[in-house]
């Protein structure tokens, strides 16, 4: 007699960094999240989605209801994802221009963000990117994004001891443990919103 084994549904997460710099600490947070997910969290996978190639938002680039190829590819990645993981650095007390540009492109009709669960990680100075997170949450209301409320993750990247190595990789074990908590919360929240738990 064949035994049926219940398996967890695979949650596909699109990970987006608001910084384009190769050694960005926020990109380092996403690399850490991807490693933690692959090693410790069953039923979830994270794919990094690069936003560097997106043109600046200009509706003149929309022709006959179509978007430029890089934008179409990006929007498709967002549509295919079950949830979103943002790494949002803080520039001038708000979200970065590349991140806002990506958010705006994917919000064009039809809104690719609609009804997606999301979480935010941030590394930065004194507030650890906190002000950018709160602005991103405000933007998310308009986009119909559903952010997890707890736990929050803010990391002061410049306070000793060192949190990142010279290549921008996260080396702080306590921070890694907090990222794992965020990922577990996002996983559970995604299942709840999709009616799977």
66 Cβ contact list (under 8 Å, min separation 6): 72
Task: Tell me the pLDDT band of 127, cut-offs 50, 70 and 90.
Answer: confident
Paired sense of beta strands 83-87 and 146-147, if any: unpaired
Q: What is the mean pLDDT of residues 119-134?
A: 90
The 10s digit of each residue's pLDDT in 36-46 is 999 999 999 99
Look up residue 196 and give its two tokens: 């799977």
- Residue 161 and residue 103 in contact, taking contact as beta carbons nearer than 8 Å: no
Which residue is it, tokens 């295919």? 80
Which residues in 19-44 are b (16+ Cβ under 10 Å) and which e? beeeebbbbbbbbbbbebbeeebeeb
Q: Reduced to 3 states, what is the DSSP secondary structure of residue 185? A: helix
pTM of the model: 0.93
- 165-189 pLDDT, tens digit per residue, is 999 999 999 999 999 999 999 999 9
Residue pointed to by tokens 């936003």: 51
Q: How far apart are the first and last CA of the chain?
A: 28
CA dist 185 and 100 (Å) reads 25
Strand partners, 13: 46, 83
Model pLDDT for residues 72-123, shown as the tens digit of each residue: 999 999 999 999 999 999 999 999 999 999 999 999 999 999 999 999 999 9
- Name, in order, each residue with C-beta under 8 angstroms of 147's C-beta and a sequence gap of 6 or more: 117, 118, 119, 120, 137, 140
Whole-number pLDDT of residue 65: 86
Yes or no: say if 29 and 61 are a contact pair by the CB < 8 Å rule. Answer: no
pLDDT of 154 higher than 60 = yes
- From residue 164, alpha-carbon distances to 16, 20, 55, 116, 151 in Å are 19, 17, 30, 30, 21
Q: Which domains does the chain have, with CATH numbers?
A: 11-193 (3.40.50.360)
């Amino acid at each position: 007699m064949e035994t049926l084994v219940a398996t967890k549904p695979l949650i596909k997460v699109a990970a987006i960094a608001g910084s384009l710099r190769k050694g960005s600490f926020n990109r380092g947070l996403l690399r850490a999240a991807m490693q933690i997910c692959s090693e410790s969290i069953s039923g979830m996978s994270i794919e990094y989605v690069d936003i560097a190639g997106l043109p600046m938002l200009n509706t003149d680039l929309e022709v006959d209801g179509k978007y430029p190829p890089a934008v179409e590819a990006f929007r498709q990645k967002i549509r295919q994802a079950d949830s979103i993981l943002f790494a949002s650095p803080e520039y001038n007390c708000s979200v970065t221009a590349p991140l806002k540009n990506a958010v705006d492109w994917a919000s064009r009709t039809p809104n690719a963000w609609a009804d997606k669960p999301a979480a935010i990680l941030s590394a930065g100075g004194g507030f650890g990117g906190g002000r950018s997170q709160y602005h991103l949450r405000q933007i998310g209301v308009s986009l119909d994004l559903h952010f997890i409320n707890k736990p929050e993750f803010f990391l002061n990247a410049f306070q000793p001891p060192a949190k990142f190595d010279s290549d921008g990789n996260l080396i702080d074990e306590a921070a890694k443990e907090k990222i794992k908590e965020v990922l577990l919360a996002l996983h559970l929240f995604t299942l709840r919103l999709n009616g799977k738990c």
